Each structure stands twice: as C-alpha cells, then as structure tokens.
Structure 1
Amino acid sequence: MRAFAELLDRLSLTASRNAKLVLVRDYLRATPDPDRGWALAALTGDLGFDAAKPAMIRKAVEARVDPVLFGWSYDYVGDLAETVSLIWPAPTDHRPNREPELSEVVDALRRAGRNEVRPLIEGWLDALEPKGRWALLKLVTGALRIGLSARLAKTAAAMIRPDAVSAPPDPDGDERTQSLAPVDVSDIEEVWHAIDPPYVDLFAWLEGRAERPSPDAPGRFRPVMLAVALDEAADFAKLSPADYAAEWKWDGIRVQAVREQGVAKLYSRTGDEISGAFPDVMQALTFEGAIDGELLVMREGQPAPFGDLQQRLNRKTVDAKLMAAHPAGVMAYDLLAADGEDLRSLPLTERRARLAAVVAQHGGERLQLSPQVEYADWDQLARLRADPPVGAAAEGLMLKRWDSSYLAGRPKGPWFKWKRDPHVIDAVLMYAQRGHGKRSSFYSDYTFGVWTDEGALTPVGKAYFGFTDEELKQLDKFVRDHTVERFGPVRSVRAERDFGLVLEVAFEGLQRSSRHKSGVAMRFPRVSRIRWDKPAREANTITDVMALLDAIEGGGGRVAKSLKN
C-alpha cells in the first residue's frame, strides 16, 4: 500500500504528462502481481467497491473525532480523503498494526458485506500513516483526481518492458526478439474489455513472457476513433472539400452498439456498459456486428435535443413510462464489424456503404443512418454549420476523409470536429465553494446568476474551469474579500445592482428544468472571461436567457452573442 500511496501522491503533484508516464511506468515495473494490476485498474477507473460509500467514512471519523471539529476541517480543506487522513487520531490501545498490501485491501473489500466495510476501513486507517490513509480513501471512494487519464495509464503500461523502446525487430523473425518491439497503446485497448483485473495475462504479454490475450470475446467493446478540433485558419488552407465527407455532430452521447453471437451490449465511448439503462434500444436492435453512433431521443424519426436524452442518463434501470416519454435510438455513422468480419481497416467509403445496407435491412426508428451533408466548398459548409436545418439536435459538423481507416485514439488528419460557436452570457457571481485536489485551498467552484424583472439575482449555472491559475488567485481573493454569509463550505458573495463581479460564461446549450429555481439548466458552462470592467447591473436578465432558450428550441441560428450587452 505504501508504494501505491507514494505513486498517487507524486502524480497529484506532477503536472507534466511525460513525468506522469514515467512515474506510472516505473511503478508497474517495480511492483509485483497482483498489486500492480489492481493499481492499474484503479488508475483507469475500472475498480470500484459498491459497499464502500463516502457517508460511511464520515460516520467513522465522527465516531473518533469531535463532529464539529471535523465539519470545520472538512469545510476548510474541501477534500474528504485529505481531511480524514490528517485528522484521524492514533489508536489508543497501542496494539501493533501491520500496513496492508494493496491486494489485501482490494480482496477484503470485494468480499465484504456492507456491515463489514466500516470496521475494515477503520482498522486500515489505524495502521497507516497520513499519506497511506489518503491513498486508501481515494481508492475506496474511486475519486482519485490526480490528473491522469485512463489512456495515459495504459500508455505507461505499454512501456514497462525495459528494452521495449530500443529493441528493433529481428530480421530473421526470432519470436523472442520480435516480442521486444514496443507495444502500441491501441493494442492494449483492443484487448482491454476482454480481460479482467488484476491483468496478470496482460502484464505477461507486455513483458514478453506470453502471447497477447485474445480480444475476440463476443459483444466486446472496440477502441473508438476520435476527432481533433478543426482550426479554421490553419486547416482549411491545407484541406480539400472533395477529400472529406461531412455529417452532423449530433448532440447526444457517443455509443457503440454490439450484437455478436447472441451477446448484445451498449457501450459509452469510454467502454462503460450502459445496456441496462436502455433496454428498449437493445431489444430493438437486430443486426449482427458492431455499430458506432450517437445515442439520441428520437421522436417521429427526428433527433431531439440533448436535454431530452439527459432524462434517461445515469440510471441503472428505467420504467415503461420513462421509455415511452423519451424513446431512444442510435444514429449510426460507422460500421466496425459485421457478421464476424472486422471492417475497421477498410476505407470510410466501403464502411459507409456496408452500414447503409445494414440500416436499410434493419428497419424501425431505433436505428437510423446519419445523413451526409452535401456541400461544394468550405464557405457553404460554414453557413450550414451556423444555422443547421436539424436545429438544436446538432452541435456542429464532423469532417471525415473518405479514404480513412477506423483507427483507435485521436489521429491527426483523418477526422475533424467543427463545433458551433458557444452561447455566451454575462452573469453575476453569487456563491463560491472550495475545489478538490490541487484546488482544495481555493474557492474555485462558482455559482452565477442573472437579473429577474424584480431586480434580484436568480442562479442559472455553475462553473469551475475556463480561467488561468493567476485568474483563479484573483477570483479566490475576491470571494474572500467580499463574503457576506457562509453555508457550510459555501460562501455567499456580495452581489448587488451597484456592486458585483460579472463573469462572461460560455455554454453549449440550454434546457428547461423544473429542478432549478430559474427554470433553466446549462450544458457545459465555463468562465470564458472575467469582466472586471463591467458593472453588475449590466449583466443579462432571465428574460434574455429564456429568449435564447426559445430560439434554440425553435431551431434558430446562433443568437448567443446578441445576449452580451
């Protein structure tokens, strides 16, 4: 456990991508099985413990420490694991406690019932030093927050053989020498969903001690191909419209629908299975193969805005009423496999033709072919992007080379995403809360509002990114200097007609919401600019916001910039 704690601590304090790679690679090289496998599962988000909840940890510490003191400490620190690791008292019975190994913790938690988890955690907290306690609680809650993506962790795993990078393939074809060649991270992702933690077979292959695990499990997830953002100024000068197919970038969630040998599954773009939340979709799909597409709510054959789909997301089960009110389907734009044949190496033109045939034979509204956008030049495509005929269901365009293979990861050149310009409003800062991890000492989570007809502020969203580190310090100082009230970890900030901080907020969309006092909810809000120069009274009103929402729902063009005064 000590080595894992040291790894997490150093990762949390390291900003460099390459430095993080080296840290994880060296840990995986030095740590034996099965500990390194459980660590990799934790780093990639594939390790969770259903019986362990944050509320259980709070109860445990409140039994050892004055609850008021703990509450004040938690409010100040802002991170549960860090607070508990520092405030946890030394055991009073002076019994010797041995620090647990990572695999011991994982095995015990996987076997434990709900009533057994808290005593286990308390015993481990007694045995560990503060850094180990912090790592333990991060592991248990699954909230690592160390700035490491799952793909980066897998990339580090691909580098664990000491001589893998420098050893060339043997021209005579010797298998032992050939195995020294570097492993590509896409090869790991190809087998990832066919293997289970602690990945003993995976490490045996990566170290050249065994063959590559088979990826051919029916119903498996295929690593997705991602697009890079289009730079209009730089990219259009180098690209030819004739080389690229255009289609709408649908405002749903990226999914992979798979039916193979009687196994049917629906995956998110990160490989999480979401079949249970969409049984109506899975029951209606009858093809044999793997389709890449967008999950949307479909009404009378037309895709609905993201807000409709959001009613069905993040649910383990759904009832008939919800499925009837929000019928979901897949807008298909690529075919990865069909009838046992892997099609990813084929050019897009051939995959698209095969996909069109599959959809045509399928029938029904649960599976539709994503239409291609006809255009003659970039100017015409730009006009369509600014005011799409499909309205709010599209958030921009995709450009895909006709000759492109389906490659895992985000290769530069084959696919581009050209999102519509975001909506922008001016809002007033109302509340602030401490962040987590590196930001636990700063007020970095901001609630902002707009003016009502009565001259009061009503909250319309929250944002916690979009500003630089230097701007964060300035925002944090403003919050501290102008706090008027406290509600636990939340500070109410002075916000009046004649005094307040205006934030320029960019966001991707709006939807009506009965859960919010203002009646609206924003999608992906972020702070795009701090308006130190703008009087609070000149911020936008709820009437402005509702007018924008009406325009979005009506399928109008971008009216966002008109909201800024």
Structure 2
Amino acid sequence: MRAFAELLDRLSLTGSRNAKLVLLRDYLRATPDPDRGWALASLTGELVFDAAKPAMIRKAVEARVDPVLFGWSYDYVGDLAETVALIWPADRDHRPNREPELGEVVEALRTAGRGEVRGLLEGWLDALEPKARWALLKLMTGGLRVGLSARLAKTAAAMMRPAAVSEPPDPDGGEVVTALEPVDVSDIEEIWHALTPPYADLFAWLEGRAERPSGDAPGRFRPVMLAVAIDEAVDFERLDPADYAAEWKWDGIRVQAVREDGVEKLYSRTGDEISGAFPDVMAGLTFEGAIDGELVVWRDGMVAPFGDLQQRLNRKAVDAKTMAAHPAAIVAYDILARDGDDLRGLALAERRARLEAVTANGGDRLHLSPIVSYSTWEELGRLRADPPVGAAAEGLMLKRWDSPYLAGRPKGPWFKWKRDPHVIDAVLMYAQRGHGKRSSFYSDYTFGVWTEEGVLTPVGKAYFGFTDEELKQLDKFVRDHTIERFGPVRSVRADRDFGLVLEVAFEGLQRSTRHKSGVAMRFPRVSRIRWDKPAREANTLDDVMDLLDAIESGGGRVAKPLQA
C-alpha cells in the first residue's frame, strides 16, 4: 500500500497534467503485477466494493474516538478519508507485524462479506501510517479525487511502453533488440472493454512480452471522436463552408448504442455502460452494428429540453411510469459499424449514407440528426444565434465531409460552435469546503437573486470558473464575513447594503419543484467576481423567470420539430 499511497498523494498535490502522466507512468513501470493493475483499475473507476460503505467507516472510527471530537474534526477537515487517516488511534498492542499490499487488500475486499469488512478495515488502519490509511480509505470508497481522469490514466499506461525490448541472444551470441511501435491511448481504449483487472495481458503487451489483446468482443465500446472548439477569429478565415457538414449540437448526453451477435449495450461517451437505465431505448433498436449519437427525451416529434432527460439520468433502474413520462431516444449522427463491418475508416459522407439507411426504419427510439443547410459562415452564424430547435440545441457541430472517424480529439475534422452562455449577477449566500486539494478552502458557492420581498433566494451552486488566486480571495471573503456555521457550510453576510456579487454563466434553465426558487440551472460557473458591484444591483428572481419564459416560448428558444 505504501507505493500506491505515495502515488495518490503526489498526484493530488500535482497540478500539471504532464507531471501527473509521468508520475503514473513511472509507477506502472516500477510496480509488479498485480498491484499496478489494481492501481490502474482504481484510477479508471473499475473497482467497486459493495461491502465498503462510508457509514461503516464512521462506525469504526467512532468506536475508538469520541464521536463529538470526530464530528468536529470531520467538519473542519471536510474529507472523511483524510479525517479518519489523521485521527485514527492505532491499537499498538495488537498491531500487525507488516503492512498489507495493495493486491492483498483488493482481493480481501472482493471476497469479504459485509460483516467482515469492518474487522479487515480496523486491522489495516492499525498497520498503516496516516498517508497509507488515507489511500486505503479512498480506494475503498472510490472517491480518489486526485485530478486524474480515466482517459488520462490510460494515457499514462500507453506511455509506459518502451521503444525497444531485448530478447535472448541468437545462436551467434549477439543480443537481439526489437523495436516496438508506440501505443496511443486510443489503442488501449479500443480493447479496454475486453480486458479485466488486474490487466496482466495489457501490461504484457505494453512491455513487448506478448501480442496485443483482442478487442473483438461483441458489444464492445469504440473510442469516441471528439470536436475542438472553433476559433471564430482564426478558423473561419481558412475553412471552406463547402467542406463541412453542419448539425445541431443536441442538448443531451453523448452515447454509443451497440447491437452485435445478440449483445446489446448502451455506453456513455467515457465507456460506462448505462443500458440498465434505458431499457426502453435498447428494446426499440433493431440495427446490427454501432451507432454514435445523442441520448435525449423525445416528445411530440421533437427533442425535449435537457431538464426532461435529467429525470432519467443517474439511475440504475427505471420504472414504467418514468419511462412513459420521459420517453428516451437516440438522435444519431454517425455509424461506426454495420453487420460486422468496421466503418470508421470511411469518409463522413459515406458513413452518413449508411446511417440514413439504418435510421429510415428506426422507429420511435432512433432518429436521424438532420444536416443544417447553409452556404456561408455568416448565414450559419445567424442560425446559431436563433436556432429553430431552441432549448434543445447548445450550438452547432461542423464536420468535414471527407473525415474518417478518429478516436480522440484531432484538430481540424470536427469543430463545435457553442452558443454564448446565459449570464446573471447573483449574490454569494453560502460556502462549503471542497474536497481533495481544496478541502482547506471554501470553494463551493451557493448564490441567490432578489425576490419581490427584498430577500435572497438560492438559484444555483458553482464550484469552478475561478483561478487559484481568486479562490484564495473568495475563501478569505467567506472567512471574514461568516455570520453562521452549519458544519462544513458557512453562511456569509448578504443583504441589500453588503454582499459579494458573482457573475454566473450557465447553459440553460428549467423549472424545478425541488428548488425553493422554482428554477434550476445547467452547468453554472463563476465567470467573474464583481467586487465593484453593489449587492442591491444583482438580478432578481423576476429577471430569471423572464429568461426562463423566453427560453421556453420566445425568441427562437422553443423546441420545434427537427428540420434540415
């Protein structure tokens, strides 16, 4: 556990993407199987221990520490794993004579029953030092929070491949050196769903000791092709409109639907399987192959706002009532495989023709994303500003007609041209401690707008959009102007004569019965700190509701039937 703990600690304290990659690459090179495989599985979210729950961890520590002291400590630190790691009073009289290895911990947790986990946990915490305790608890709960995405972890694995390997001497006594082809992260993603932890076959291939594992399992996930944001000032000068197809950027979630040899899967853009939450979609698909598209709620022949789709997201299962009220479907914009043939190497124009044939009889669960007709960038810009699909479109996608389907985010073939976000001025009301490297800062901010009665009502929460230096300034403001404390949450002074105004950008609004204000924001973030603006001049709830009405029913913001 010690090497794994050191890795997590250094990753959490390292901001540079490249430095994180080097840290993980070096760890994977130096650590033997199976520990490095279990580490990679944990960093990519592939390890889940159903018997290890935060409540059990709290019970274990409260059995050895005064619960009030633990509660105060937890409120101050703001992170369960860090608090327990620091406060745990090891039983020195019964301390194990060695620290457990990572593989030993994983194997024990995978086979242990719910009643056995607490005893295992206590023994491990007694044997480990604080840093390793923290890593153990992060491993158990799955909340690593070290600033490393699953794709970045796979990228580091690809980087561990050597340029060449030495083989046993030939009969003449000379050493045989074999050059190895570099491995890209897309090569790993292509086979990832055919692999199982702790990935011994993956590492054998990366180190040149074995052939590439097969990724030809039916129903597998294909690495997605991503777009880059267009630079209006530069890109339009050098791009020819005739070379690019334009489509609406649908306001849903990116999915890949696969039906091969009786295996049916629905994946998110990161490769997580979400089939169980959308059985109605999967049951309505009839093609044989792999479709790339946007998962939406489809009602009355049109794409519904994203708020409707949220009623279906983050569920392991769904009941008939929810499916009937929020019927899901896929708006397809690409086809990756058909009847056993891999189509990704074809030009977009050829793939589009095959996609049209598949979706012609797609039923209620599969619809073709229409091509937007335009002749100049200026004309397309006017459509982007006032799209006929309104709230269901975030903007436009531009795709070269001759582009193959390439994994990753290549520069040039695909662009995204998002609409400008909505912006309001709101007043900071509450702040909460962050997690991981932000656990010492008040970095999660609840903000509100003025009601007719002259009081603030919360309309959203943001925890990004500001720089590290601005975070320090915000944290100081919170500490200097706290009027009440509720555990890790602080209420700050906010009235007509005093308060901090935040300019908040967001992608959309929807009505919500769960929020006191009656609205919920999509993707809110702090776009600017208005140190200069008096709190009384912040927006009102009437302003927000007027904007919601406009989104729903006016100014080209209402969802209308799909059209080219």
- What TM-score results when the alignment is normalised by the length of structure 2? 0.95
Once residues 121 and 234 of structure 1 are traced to their aligned partners in structure 2, the CA distance between those partners, rounded to angstroms, is 57
Q: Is the 8 A contact 2:95 2:127 kept in 1?
A: no
SS in 1 for 2:115: helix
Partner AA of 1:53 in structure 2: K
Deviations 1:437-466 (A, max 9, x none): 111111110000001111111000000111
Shift of 1:556: 2.7
Which digits, 9 at most, give the CA deviation of each residue in 1:165-198, with x for residues without a partner? 99xxxxxxxxx86661211111111000111111
Indicate yes or no: 2:512 matched with 1:513: yes
In structure 2, the CA distance between the partners of 1:104 and 1:40, relative to structure 1 (3 Å rule), is same
Tell me the SS of whatever aligns to 2:93.
Answer: coil
State the SS of the aligned residue for 1:471: helix
Other structure's SS at 2:374 match: coil
Change (3 A) 1:540 1:204: same
In 1, Cα distance between equivalents of 2:555 and 2:45 = 40
- Give the match for residue 306 of structure 1: 306
Matched with 1:368 is 367
Query: Is contact 1:391–1:554 with CA below 8 Å preserved after alignment?
Result: no
Query: Following the alignment from structure 1 to structure 2, what is the Cα–Cα distance between the partners of residues 260 and 17?
Result: 37
- The question of whether the paired residues in 1 share the 8 Å contact of 2:389 and 2:557 is answered with no
1:171 aligned residue: none
Any gaps of 5 or more consecutive residues in structure 2? 167-175, 559-564
Aligned with 1:193: secondary structure? helix
Q: Which secondary structure does the structure 2 equivalent of 1:22 belong to? A: helix
Moved more, 24-33 or 333-342: 24-33
Take 1:558 and 1:289, find their aligned partners in 2: how far apart are those partners? 35
The 5 A counterparts of 1:550-565 are 550-554=549-553, 556-557=555-556
| In structure 2, C-alpha distance between the alignment counterparts of 1:72 and 1:558, rounded to whole Å | 49
> Are 1:382 and 2:390 counterparts?
no
Structure 2 CA distance, aligned partners of 1:403 and 1:96? 64
- Distance in 2 (CA, whole Å) between partners of 1:238 and 1:451 is 47
1:123 is aligned to 2:152? no
Matched, 1:77 2:56: no
2:397 and 2:415 in contact (8 A); partners too: yes
CA distance in 1, matches of 2:498, 2:336: 57
What is the CA distance between 1:555 and its match in structure 2?
Answer: 5.2
Q: CA deviation at 1:71?
A: 1.3
Query: Aligned residues: percent identity?
Result: 86
Aligned equivalents of 1:535 and 1:253: distance in 2?
Answer: 38
Deviation at 1:547, TM superposition (A): 0.9
Unaligned runs of 5+ in 1: 167-175, 560-565
Residues 18-27 or 276-285, more deviating: 18-27
Separation in structure 1 between the aligned mates of residue 95 and residue 333 of structure 2, nearest angstrom: 62
Per-residue deviation, 1:153 = 1.2
- Distance in 1, Cα, partners of 2:51 & 2:408: 34
Structure-2 separation of matches of 1:165 and 1:531: 58
Aligned to 1:400: 399
C-alpha distance in structure 2 between counterparts of 1:75 and 1:555, whole Å: 46
Partner of 1:181: 181
- Kindly indicate whether the alpha-carbon contact (under 8 Å) linking 1:91 and 1:126 is maintained by their aligned counterparts in 2: yes
Asked whether the 8 Å contact 2:297–2:327 carries over to 1, the reply is yes
Which residue of the partner structure matches residue 169 of structure 2?
none
Distance 2:389 2:402 in 1: 27
Q: SS at 2:154's partner residue?
A: helix
Partner of residue 430, structure 2: 431
CA displacement at 1:44 relative to structure 2:
1.3
- Per-residue deviation, 1:74: 1.2
Which segment drifts farther, 269-278 or 151-160? 151-160
SS at match of 2:22: helix
One-letter code aligned to 2:233: A
Query: RMSD of aligned C-alpha atoms?
Result: 1.5
* Alpha-carbon spacing, 1:118–1:6, altered in 2? closer, same or farther (3 Å): same
What are the Cα deviations for residues 185-237 of structure 1, in whole angstroms up to 9, with x where unaligned?
Answer: 11111000111111111111111111111111001100000111111112111
- The aligned residue for residue 256 of structure 2 is 256
Give the alignment's TM-score, normalised by structure 1. 0.95
Provide the rounded CA distance (Å) in 2 between the counterparts of 1:162 and 1:296: 44
Aligned match of 2:467: 468
Whether contact under 8 Å (2:164, 2:178) holds in the other structure is no
* Conservation of the 8 A alpha-carbon contact between 1:179 and 1:208: no
> Is 1:203 paired with 2:207?
no
Cα distance in 1 between the residues matched to 2:41 and 2:177 = 29
Contact kept? 1:165, 1:181, Cα under 8 Å: no
Match of 1:216 in 2: 216
Which letter does structure 2 place at the counterpart of 1:529? R
Q: CA deviation at 1:163?
A: 3.0
Q: How far apart in 2 are the matches of 1:311 and 1:343?
A: 34
Q: Distance in 1 between matches of 2:125 and 2:194?
A: 35
Alpha-carbon distance change, 118 to 542 in structure 1, aligned in 2, over 3 angstroms? same
